[in-house]
Structure 1
Amino acid sequence: MTAQLTDTDRAHLRRCVDLAREALDDGDEPFGSLLVDATGAVRFEDRNRVKGGDQTRHPELEIARWAAAHLSPEERAAAVVYTSGEHCPMCSAAHAWVGLGRIVYAASSEQLTAWRREWGLAPGPVAALPIQAVAPGVPVAGPEASLSDEIRALHARLAGVTT
């Protein structure tokens, strides 16, 4: 679901892409996310950490866990999660269960699925459902076209393909 993004949204997404690159440079999958409170302050950021074998170490799940432990329900509802890639079903569910607010993503699950298919890669072990199929009450915005080529290149590098 594409929605108009602000310059502030794009700046936060830029940081997410930088975190995704940091993850890839460290041998991990290229995903990065941050949690921004109602005042615009970044409260938590993380990147994928699945290379150790725990495939649940997604930054969006870590954000949900951190928010549940550190923010009131009202603060969680007013917060925005920015992420380089649209939440997977696990992270979408965690986001909704914790009661976080809006999600803004740079690349959609649909895009990532299409890129992987184009490169001849097998689909992941979990269906690539859009956030609102799992968490219909969560407002979402994305993808952000200006970051698409850069995110595609990160995922191509992970896959070992030349684009």
Structure 2
Amino acid sequence: MVDDTDLRHLGRAVELAARALESGDEPFGSVLVGADGAVLFEDHNHVAGGDRTQHPEFAIARWSTTRMTIAERAAATVYTSGEHCPMCSAAHGWAGLGRIVYASSSAQLVSWLEEWGVPPAPVRALPVGEIVPGAVVEGPVDSLSEEVRGLQARFHGRS
């Protein structure tokens, strides 16, 4: 169940996505929060430079494995503007991170891109649960998914 604390952190992930867009990058943002509620790490996409692996969820996985214990990672929550792609899902699973809460789903993004005539990504969109069986995943969150849709529309020149 997504509560007010979740919405606050998820809102920050959407703010980071907007920051990415403002810097000329794809609008995705993520926040790692420890079991005690402390924000441990936050980032946004950095793929505009040509390295398509520079996703914030992947950065969170890498950061967490060198700075958190296995138990701390399992108790943490990743908040993200968009559901993890397969690469980031795998990194999340390998790092042993806990719960994921996302504003918009991969299925929503695929639908929006099809609607706008944007060619599909080179990697098939799959739900996190298909990559990381047993992952605790919550989303999409309707109150924020429309905001994410707007960011994606601006990025793809559809607003």
TM-score under structure 2 length normalisation = 0.99
Paired amino acid for 2:66: A
Say if 2:32 is the partner of 1:35: yes
Say if 2:133 is the partner of 1:136: yes
Partner SS state of residue 79, structure 2: strand
Paired amino acid for 1:86: E
Q: For 2:77 and 2:14, locate their aligned partners in 1 and report how far apart those are by CA, in whole Å.
A: 16
How far does the alpha carbon of each residue in 1:25-52 deviate from its partner, in whole angstroms, 9 at most, with x for none? 0000000001000000000000000000
Q: For 2:158 and 2:31, locate their aligned partners in 1 and report how far apart those are by CA, in whole Å.
A: 28
TM-score under structure 1 length normalisation = 0.96
Q: CA deviation at 1:149?
A: 1.5
Q: For 1:82 and 1:142, locate their aligned partners in 2 and report how far apart those are by CA, in whole Å.
A: 10
How far does the alpha carbon of each residue in 1:74-113 deviate from its partner, in whole angstroms, 9 at most, with x for none? 0000000000000000000000001000000000000000
Unaligned ranges ≥5, structure 1: none
Unaligned ranges ≥5, structure 2: none
Structure 1 stretches of at least 4 aligned residues deviating more than 6 Å after TM superposition: none
* Match in the other structure for 1:23: 20
Aligned Cα RMSD in Å? 0.5
* Match in the other structure for 2:53: 56
Identity over aligned residues, as a percent?
61
* Match in the other structure for 1:76: 73
